[in-house]
Amino acid sequence: MTTTLRAFLASGVLVVSAFTGSAGAVSAQAEKAAAGSITSITLTKTNADVKRIAEYWSPAKLKQAQNNNPATPEVKPSDGSKASSAPVSPTPTGTASGGTAVKAVTYSGSKASSPVVSPVLPTKKQPSNSNLPRTVGKVFFKIGDKEYWCSASAVASKNRHLVATAGHCAFDPKRNRNADYWIFIPGYDQGKTPYGIYVGHSLNLHENFTAQGDYDYDYAFVTVHDGFVWKPGKSPNTYQMEPVGSLEDNVGGQGLMVNRGVGLSVFAFGYPAAPNIDGSKPYDGQRMLWCDGRTYQTKAPTRLVEMGISLGCTFTGGASGGPWLIYYDPRQGVGYLNGVNSFAWDTDTDKKYDRISSPYFIQSTYVVYEYADRQRAF
């Protein structure tokens, strides 16, 4: 849709100044986030746009898309150097080696440095044979002419249509291109769409990610339209769209907490599928999986990460964008979003991933969330 930041203002992308408060628990390292911008990209302007994207992801296309490549974190080139998507291998110290407004406007978030959004349960009681969170699912999208997928989760919001995922599941900083034909399928399981398909309306990211490829801001909040399911049509081998209502009504939404520090007990969810560095492929991306443990502070200079957090986990590519939940209640399937899967690490250099990292959620994260919550799909 757009290829350069300069082109954003001419092509329907809103850049919004966001002046935030204290970053809280790791404030000394989070000072660089004290002021920033929001990049908001509108994907659908008319019902025809929604229909076009929905029809693109036909039942046959979705079945084929199971074999697509998961999106991988790319590094933005600097000074003309070649970008790399190579895996991160820490040094012994633990750091890494290797819509359519056309003007910028001031936008301020909540004055509270640690705002809390409470989780919401679905209003529609649907049967489920799993104790995994129904808010979590897969996103499918295109960047340029290539198709990709990631993991994501519904998050509680006033607009009842909000999804949280990784920034690189909505924007490729290496190519300066946003995702398009973006859909979310909560509860995805071996190709099934039990709670519907939701077409993306707007992508909302921190500009430090879109402009600099800074993975301290590798998160996105995406507004979506009401969902639908494909039902057999009246003629053989045809399908028609049947509406299912709002995302939050069907699956609920995870809460949100920022500035909570490190050392927290967290559950990470996602759909890993990509191979390890040695070529082994322990996952197929068809089922939701989870890891749990306590978080550690993490740095990765090659991706500009100064205040990241990480978790011992063998997730591979495909889990990107899946939620990190604290205070998780497995009986209800809800907790508080406190991170998203960003990229994998091989800390013992055995060519198998053993750790996953997330951006540390700070006040700037909440500002992007709050701005996204104000977007309304028509």
- pLDDT tens column, 322-347: 999 999 999 999 999 999 999 998 99
- Average pLDDT over the chain, rounded to an integer: 82
Q: How confident is the model at residue 70 (pLDDT cuts 50, 70, 90)?
A: confident
Query: Looking at residue 302, what is its pLDDT?
Result: 79
Least confident of 59-68, 111-120, 135-144, 195-204: 111-120
65, burial (CB in 10 Å: exposed 0-12, middle 13-18, buried 19+): middle
Query: Looking at residue 131, what is its pLDDT?
Result: 81
Q: Which of 11-20, 29-38, 299-308 has the highest mean pLDDT?
A: 299-308
Query: Looking at residue 209, what is its pLDDT?
Result: 95
Q: What is the pTM of this model?
A: 0.83
Contact 35, 19 (CB under 8 A): yes
